[in-house]
């Protein structure tokens, strides 16, 4: 199940694009942005590129991973030109900021795709993700915990639709946890236990004081949360309209984990709602999502298809999340 959505363009708006190159995925958004900072998505696409393959251990981007990223960005630029996007905003996150050979990636991107990548700090990524995720959710009131489970890091923000009280970026991610702890297919109980222990230790060290803050709801973005929702709906085609804003109960997430933990990767890849390339990291991602909900004592979360790339557009047009 891949993501690729189309919408007709609206007159009187500026057409721009945002590309988020993460540890696992490269996400493209072409959108219209109005004078009052309303975002209307026109075209969206996701590709699993595994840019962060091996970065947790080596702190270096593989040449093959760089090539995958560059090839995808060349394709994305052609799409942006077809949509006549005036500007393309390209951001890199956890794997890029961790890599000692970051300059090699940036150089190849510039020379082979003509694009310039902005490498975000963890705080910048968290803030933009928060405002992007909440920007279209007028039903979310009060202070929220916004969580973005990526491949290499997870961003946590406490705030409302207009402000941020606390933010943190932790070295917890579906790819990082998979590479660090899972050596068997399916994973051994001891490997899952190691993931849980690592998640709990990282959150206790950085987020324990957040538990004293008033919290009305949790909003979970990125591929793990949307994939769990897609699995529950048994989607064969990715549909943002069905997933964005969906309420996800913790017992439903636990049921998905119970289904996944006994399966091999090739079996997971054939399940409804799963992008096959995401299958190798789904168990770790779902365990992480569950541990976040348990840590904060939450029984449900709102799923968000909107996130960093929407927040990048808002920041560049002077709205929420400006740096």
In three state form, how does the secondary structure of the chain look? CCCEEECCCCCCCEEEEEEEECCCEEEEEEEEECCCCCEEEEEEEEEECCCCCCHHHHCCCCHHHHHHHHHHHHHHHHHHHHCCCCCEEEEECHHHHHCCCHHHHHHHHHHHHCCCEEECCHHHHHHHHHHHHHCCCCCCCCCEEEEEECCCCEEEEEECCCCEEEEEEECCCHHHHHHHHCCCCCCCHHHHHHHHHHHHHHHHHHHHHHHHCCCCEEEEEHHHHHHHHHHHHCCCCCCHHHHCCCEEEHHHHHHHHHHHCCCCHHHHCCCCCCCHHHHHHHHHHHHHHHHHHHHCCCCEEEEECCCHHHHHHHHHCCCCCCC
For residue 322, name the pLDDT band (cuts at 50, 70, 90).
Answer: very low
pLDDT for position 8: 47
Q: Taking residues 55-71, what's their average pLDDT?
A: 93
The whole model's pTM is what?
0.88
Q: How confident is the model over 190-214, as pLDDT tens digits?
A: 999 999 999 999 999 999 999 888 8
Domain ranges for the chain: 4-122, 133-304
Architecture of domain 133-304: 2-Layer Sandwich (3.30)
Q: Taking residues 93-107, what's their average pLDDT?
A: 94
Q: What is the CATH number of domain 4-122?
A: 3.30.420.40
State yes or no: pLDDT of 222 exceeds 90: no
For residue 315, name the pLDDT band (cuts at 50, 70, 90).
Answer: very high
State yes or no: pLDDT of 9 exceeds 80: no
Nearest CA among 282, 290, 318 for reference residue 36: 318
Give 191's contacts (C-beta < 8 A, 6+ positions apart). 181, 182, 183, 184
Q: How confident is the model over 37-48, as pLDDT tens digits?
A: 899 999 999 999
State yes or no: pLDDT of 5 exceeds 60: no
pLDDT for position 99: 94
How far CA 38 is from CA of 11, 14, 49, 146, 318, in Å, comes to 13, 11, 30, 20, 12
State yes or no: pLDDT of 74 exceeds 60: yes
Q: Taking residues 71-75, what's their average pLDDT?
A: 97
Q: How confident is the model over 227-266, as pLDDT tens digits?
A: 999 999 999 888 888 999 999 999 999 999 999 999 999 9
Do the domains 4-122 and 133-304 sit in the same CATH topology, yes or no? yes
For residue 92, name the pLDDT band (cuts at 50, 70, 90).
Answer: very high
């Amino acid at each position: 199940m891949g993501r690729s959505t189309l919408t007709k363009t609206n007159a009187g708006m500026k057409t721009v694009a945002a590309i988020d190159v993460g540890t696992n995925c490269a996400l493209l958004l072409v959108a219209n942005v109005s004078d009052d900072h309303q975002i209307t998505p026109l075209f969206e696409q996701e590709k699993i590129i595994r840019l962060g393959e091996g970065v947790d251990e080596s702190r270096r981007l593989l040449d093959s991973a760089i090539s995958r990223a560059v090839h995808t960005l060349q394709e994305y630029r052609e799409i942006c030109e077809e949509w006549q996007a005036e500007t393309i905003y390209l951001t890199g996150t956890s794997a890029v900021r961790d890599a000692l050979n970051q300059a090699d990636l940036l150089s190849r991107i510039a020379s082979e795709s003509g694009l310039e990548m902005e490498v975000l700090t963890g705080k910048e990524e968290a803030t933009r993700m928060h405002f992007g995720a909440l920007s279209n959710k007028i039903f979310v009131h009060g202070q929220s915990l916004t969580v973005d489970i990526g491949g290499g890091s997870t961003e946590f923000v406490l705030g409302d639709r207009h402000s941020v009280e606390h933010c943190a970026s932790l070295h917890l991610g579906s790819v990082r946890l998979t590479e660090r702890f899972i050596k068997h297919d399916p994973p051994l109980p001891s490997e899952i236990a190691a993931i849980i222990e690592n998640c709990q230790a990282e959150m206790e060290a950085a987020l324990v004081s957040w538990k004293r803050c008033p919290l009305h709801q949790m909003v979970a973005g990125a591929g793990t949360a949307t994939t769990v929702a897609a699995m529950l709906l048994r989607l064969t085609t990715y549909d943002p309209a069905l997933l964005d804003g969906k309420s996800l109960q913790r017992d439903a997430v636990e049921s998905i984990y119970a289904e996944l933990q006994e399966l091999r990767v090739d079996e997971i890849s054939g399940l409804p709602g799963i992008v096959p390339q995401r299958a190798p990291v789904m168990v770790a991602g779902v365990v992480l999502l569950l541990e976040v909900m348990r840590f904060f004592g939450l029984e449900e979360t709102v799923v968000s298809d909107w996130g960093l790339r929407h927040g990048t557009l808002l920041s560049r047009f002077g709205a929420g999340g400006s740096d």
